[in-house]
Amino acid sequence: MTTPVHAGYAALLGRPNVGKSTLINRLLGQKLSIIAPKPQTTRHVILGIQTLPDAQIVYVDTPGLHRQGQRAMNRYLNRAAASVIGYVDAVIFLIEALRWTDEDQDVLHRLADFTGPVVLAVNKVDRIADKSRLLPFLQEIAAKRNFTEVTPLSALKGDNVAELEQAIARLLPVQDFLFPEDQLTTASERFLAAELIREKLTRLLREELPYALTVEIEQFVEEERLVRIHALIWVERDSQKGIVIGEKGATLREVGRQARQDLERMLDRKVYLETWVKVREGWSDDERALRSLGYADPS
Ligand SMILES: Nc1nc2c(ncn2[C@@H]2O[C@H](COP(=O)(O)OP(=O)(O)OP(=O)(O)O)[C@@H](O)[C@H]2O)c(=O)[nH]1
Ligand SMILES: [Mg+2]
Report how far residue 197's alpha carbon sits from residue 194's, in angstroms, rounded to the nearest whole number. Answer: 5
Range 242-261 average pLDDT: 96
pLDDT band at 299 (very low <50, low <70, confident <90, very high): low
Neighbours of ion ligand 2 (CB under 5 A): 20-21, 41-42
Query: Would you give the DSSP letter of residue 114?
Result: -
Q: Residue 3: what pLDDT? A: 75
Could you tell me which of 176, 159, 157, 160 has the C-alpha nearest to residue 168?
160
Q: Is the pLDDT at 106 greater than 70, yes or no?
A: yes
- Please state the pTM of the whole predicted model: 0.97
Query: Would you give the DSSP letter of residue 36?
Result: -
Tens digit of pLDDT for each residue in 27-81? 999 999 999 999 999 999 999 999 999 999 999 999 999 998 889 999 999 999 9
Residues 186/202, Cβ–Cβ less than 8 Å: no
Tens digit of pLDDT for each residue in 1-29? 567 899 999 999 999 999 999 999 999 99
- Mutation to probe ligand 1, out of 22, 93, 123, 164 (largest number of atoms < 8 A from CB): 22
Q: Which amino acid is at 226?
A: L
Fold annotation for 6-171:
Rossmann fold (3.40.50)
Q: Is the pLDDT at 108 greater than 90, yes or no?
A: yes
Helix/strand/coil for 293: coil
Could you tell me which of 45, 41, 28, 2 has the C-alpha nearest to residue 297?
45
The CA dihedral of 50, 55, 61, 62, to the nearest 10 degrees, is 160
Determine the atom of ligand 1 nearest the C-alpha atom of 61.
20
Compute, in angstroms, the gap from residue 71 CA to the centroid of ligand 2: 19
Q: Which amino acid is at 51?
A: T
Compute, in angstroms, the gap from residue 15 CA to the centroid of ligand 2: 9
- Mutation to probe ligand 1, out of 27, 28, 32, 35 (largest number of atoms < 8 A from CB): 35
The CB density around residue 277, as the number of other CB atoms within 10 Å, is 19
List the residue whose alpha carbon is closest to atom 11 of ligand 1. Answer: 37
Q: Residue 203: what pLDDT? A: 95
Tens digit of pLDDT for each residue in 117-166? 999 999 999 999 999 999 999 999 999 999 999 999 999 999 999 999 99
Report how far residue 68's alpha carbon sits from residue 246's, in angstroms, rounded to the nearest whole number. Answer: 29
Q: 189-204 vs 250-267: helix axis angle to the nearest 10?
A: 140
Compute, in angstroms, the gap from residue 96 CA to the centroid of ligand 1: 9
Question: Which CATH number, 3.40.50.300, 3.40.50.11060, 2.40.180.10, 3.30.300.20, labels domain 189-292?
Answer: 3.30.300.20
**Would you list the domain boundaries of the chain?**
6-171, 189-292
